[in-house]
């Protein structure tokens, strides 16, 4: 049984698919920049910065209450409807939608703060 979180699995799948499409993306970038030899540089990524961008949301999610993480998982990583989840937690959809709005704002602020704390790469 795979005990990784669905979000982590989705991220790994995204990175794998992105890597598989790198040649096609390079061809597309070259079509947009004909005769420009720096087209390959567009695909180069600072792996430390990428790793930080990947870890910041996970750290912020871990700061949430378990029931808030469960709501986010229901909404974004499950095929269950918000209505079904509302029945399970014995509330209506309205308060859950409001809570989701607030949770997204909290996560956005937390991630922005995490990224500000990351030192800029040395060029």
Rounded Cα–Cα distance for residues 2 and 9 (Å): 10
62-110 tens-digit pLDDT? 999 999 999 998 888 888 899 999 999 999 999 999 999 999 999 999 9
Domain 46-118 = CATH 1.10.10: yes
Whose CA is closest to 86, among 77, 75, 45, 13? Answer: 75
d(CA 89, CA 33): 53
User: What is the rounded average pLDDT of the residues 114-122?
Assistant: 66
- Continuous segment of H or E residues that includes residue 116: helix 93-117
pLDDT cut 70: percent of the chain above it:
63
Domain boundaries, the chain: 1-44, 46-118
The percent of residues above 90 in pLDDT, for the chain, comes to 35
pLDDT band at 21 (very low <50, low <70, confident <90, very high): confident
């Amino acid at each position: 049984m795979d005990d990784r979180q669905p979000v982590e699995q989705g991220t790994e799948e995204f990175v794998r698919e992105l890597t598989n499409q790198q040649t096609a993306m390079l061809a597309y970038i070259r079509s947009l920049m004909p005769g420009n030899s720096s087209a390959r540089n567009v695909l180069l990524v600072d792996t430390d910065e990428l790793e930080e961008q990947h870890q910041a949301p996970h750290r912020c999610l871990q700061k949430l209450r378990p029931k808030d993480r469960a709501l986010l998982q229901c909404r974004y990583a499950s095929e269950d409807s918000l209505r079904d989840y509302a029945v399970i937690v014995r509330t209506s959809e309205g308060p859950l939608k409001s809570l989701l709005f607030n949770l997204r704002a909290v996560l956005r602020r937390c991630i922005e703060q995490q990224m500000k704390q990351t030192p800029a790469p040395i060029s």
